[in-house]
Amino acid sequence: MALSTGKLELSIIIPVYNEAENLAHLFARLETVLQQIGEPYEIVCINDGSHDATLPSLLAHRHRNPAIRVVNLSRNFGKEVALTAGLDYASGAAVIPIDADLQDPPELIGELLGKWREGYDVVYATRRSRQGESWLKRWTARAFYRTVEKISDTPIPRDTGDFRLLDRRVVEVLKQLPERTRFMKGLFAWVGFSQTAVFFDREPRRGGRTTWNYWKLWNFALDGITSFSLVPLKVWGYAGLSISALSLLYASFLILRTLILGIDVPGYASLMVAVLFFGGIQLLSLGIMGEYLARVYQEVKGRPLYVVRDCYGFEASGVPVPPLALWDDPALPTVTDPTSKR
Ligand code: UDP
Ligand code: MG
């Protein structure tokens, strides 16, 4: 059942990084949907160290609609961390993270809320199709989700991004997870609770460019796999065991052969092959140990996940507000209502 806080019903969380050109359309579509729903809401925007006009634009929108609240991080921390900050600052009974580039249709929010009111704690939006993405991106995404599905300790739903509805009690659990490697999709799945899916077609990015190149995606995939699976770490024990068993057999064969046929010197090729092969395997397994060790190291350092430079609009909600609030100034230039521009 939905937990009622008695006040704010709905929080939308938007991590934003250099999205200035999308904001007007985003808010126009989002606000139309939210007005139709008619519940009290807040839109928590996390400015993740953008270096375009995103922050002034967000603040101008906030000036127009005070339900838009802004948390300004001190630099770019990455989407997963920005999302975590959003969860910390959101105060609604239902919380919905959504991308700023309109790849997640705001029109689906009504449907997500409907399922939540039926009693589900997590309603995730699963992509039926991904438009505007290259076959390589689609294929790698597919391969990634399938791999994670096979080796992860917690089942992570396929083709599902961060666009979903989370009940307040789920958010409270997520806020308590201390880990620094924030693979949100995995964490969302790990918490459990009653979950269900709604389906949608993923649209192409509206404007700007994705900041995810393949190197970032690869690292993201590594984060996902290493934080939710121990298989890569454990498999080397078995590999070592089978290789040792085989070499033992081979050694007995060599001894027998030497005893029967005498000593023969040739064997450079097989020796080289064996040395190189095992050298490679050893480096690979060491590298994988390193991947896990690096993450353990990160956790041990215990740094805060993000640093907030300033935030706007949280005075009433009890979340501590840092003293610097440069932009929350009534003299700020206003923007025209984006709905009228369409
Ligand atoms: N984003 C962010 N910090 C980053 C990169 C992205 O907050 O370092 C935000 C971005 O503004 C957008 C969302 O995360 O709202 C998804 O980013 P993007 O569209 O680049 O990812 P994709 O859709 O390709 O997965
Ligand atoms: Mg996108």
Write out pLDDT tens, residues 35-58. Answer: 888 888 999 999 998 988 899 999
* 208 pLDDT tier (thresholds 50, 70, 90): low
Report which protein residue has its CA nearest ligand 1's atom 21.
210
Residues with CB under 5 A from ligand 2 (ion): 101, 103, 205
C-alpha dihedral over 101, 103, 108, 109, to 10 degrees?
-30
Cut 0.75: pTM above it: no
Residue 218 has pLDDT above 80, yes or no: yes
| Contact call for residues 98 and 33 (beta carbons, < 8 A) | no
Ligand 1 binding pocket mutation candidate from 76, 79, 162, 202 (most atoms within 8 A of CB):
79
Residue 324's nearest CA partner among 51, 55, 14 is 55
Residues in the chain: 342
* 21 pLDDT tier (thresholds 50, 70, 90): confident
Measured CA to CA, the distance from residue 275 to residue 254 in angstroms comes to 17
Q: Which ligand 1 atom minimizes the distance to the CA of 82?
A: 7
* 335 pLDDT tier (thresholds 50, 70, 90): very low
DSSP output for 176-196: H---SS--HHHHHHHT-SSEE
Ligand 1 binding pocket mutation candidate from 211, 213, 216 (most atoms within 8 A of CB):
211
Q: What percent of the chain has pLDDT over 90?
A: 12
* 337 pLDDT tier (thresholds 50, 70, 90): very low
Write out pLDDT tens, residues 102-125. Answer: 888 888 898 888 888 898 999 988
Paired with 12 in beta bridges are: 43, 96
Residue 217's nearest CA partner among 141, 138, 153, 156 is 141
Measured CA to CA, the distance from residue 89 to residue 71 in angstroms comes to 8
Write out pLDDT tens, residues 268-312. Answer: 777 877 888 888 788 888 888 888 888 888 778 777 888 888 888
Q: Which ligand number lies closest to the CA of residue 98? A: 1
Q: What is the mean pLDDT of the chain?
A: 79
Residue 161 has pLDDT above 50, yes or no: yes
